[in-house]
Amino acid sequence: MEDEYEEIDDGRVQYPLPQEIDPMGLFHSLRKLKILNADVFMRMQAFNLTTVDTFLTELEYSNLRELHTLERTPPDTHFLGAQSQMWIFAAYELLRTWQERCKKIVKWSETGGLQQKLEALKQKHDGSTHYGLENHIQQLESVIADPSIIDHIRGELLHMHIPFTRLEFIRVAIAKHEVSGKAKAIAFFPGYGRINMHCGSLDYQLDNGPIILGMINRRDIADSIRAIDLDSLPPSPDDLASFDKFMSGKFT
């Protein structure tokens, strides 16, 4: 397979072969996010996402081999498309949950409401076993005990902004048939994917109304999460503003 899918230097994104990908790399990257790692249920979802990612990566390459053999769209492409969309939805929901939790904690910290929120959660706890509630309480207690965690969370949100926004954009197109942030704008090709000739993942079009912003596939999303380096400097405010402007379709 390594010879069959030798990378072509044609200016397009190059994809590592399956044997070059750490099978737990996605899980390890997600666990670097402090709030996610501190939540046993989000860790479980991250593990599930990683398990299905490995399965789909193998299926994508298998489907690509069959495409070359048959010289037509393989029958399994329909199953691959269905599973790819389910994976995208799952990835979005996990990162959306993480992001919302982080933003709330940062907001409560800035407004001085962390302790008040902690006490409110403790009042809800009637002494019976409630793992989800206890998990939230422990998270807030850890942040109050170590305020430096807030700065880590802010940095993580900056690092994840671009990967999450791209994921959100295609999730909205597939699930709601709309342009992200523009409920009245109908997505041009919602859910329609074409086989990427480099990795076998299905390419979906990113468009903002009449403007085509590019293509994205499930593999791009997984690779972008694996590539996050939280030890590096996060994107600057200017970089993020430029990215957001591009995604909005405003180029001038």
Q: Which region holds residue 249: left if phi is over 0, alpha if psi is between -120 and 50, else beta?
A: left
* Boundaries of domain holding 213: 21-247
**186 domain residue, yes or no:** yes
Ordered DSSP codes for 159-200: HHHHHHHHHHHHHHHHHHSEETTEEEEEPSSTT-EEE-TTT-
**Alpha-carbon dihedral sign for residues 169, 170, 176, 182:** positive
**161 domain residue, yes or no:** yes
CA distance 51 to 110: 37
Alpha-carbon dihedral 76, 78, 82, 87, rounded to 10 degrees = 50
**14 domain residue, yes or no:** no
Residue corresponding to tokens 């489907």: 63
**2 domain residue, yes or no:** no
Total of domains in the chain: 1
**228 domain residue, yes or no:** yes
Tally the residues of the chain: 252
pLDDT at 188 over 90: no
pLDDT in tens, 221-248: 999 999 999 999 999 999 999 999 999 8
**25 domain residue, yes or no:** yes
**6 domain residue, yes or no:** no
pLDDT in tens, 60-95: 999 999 999 999 999 999 999 999 999 999 999 999
Read off the pTM. Answer: 0.90
**13 domain residue, yes or no:** no
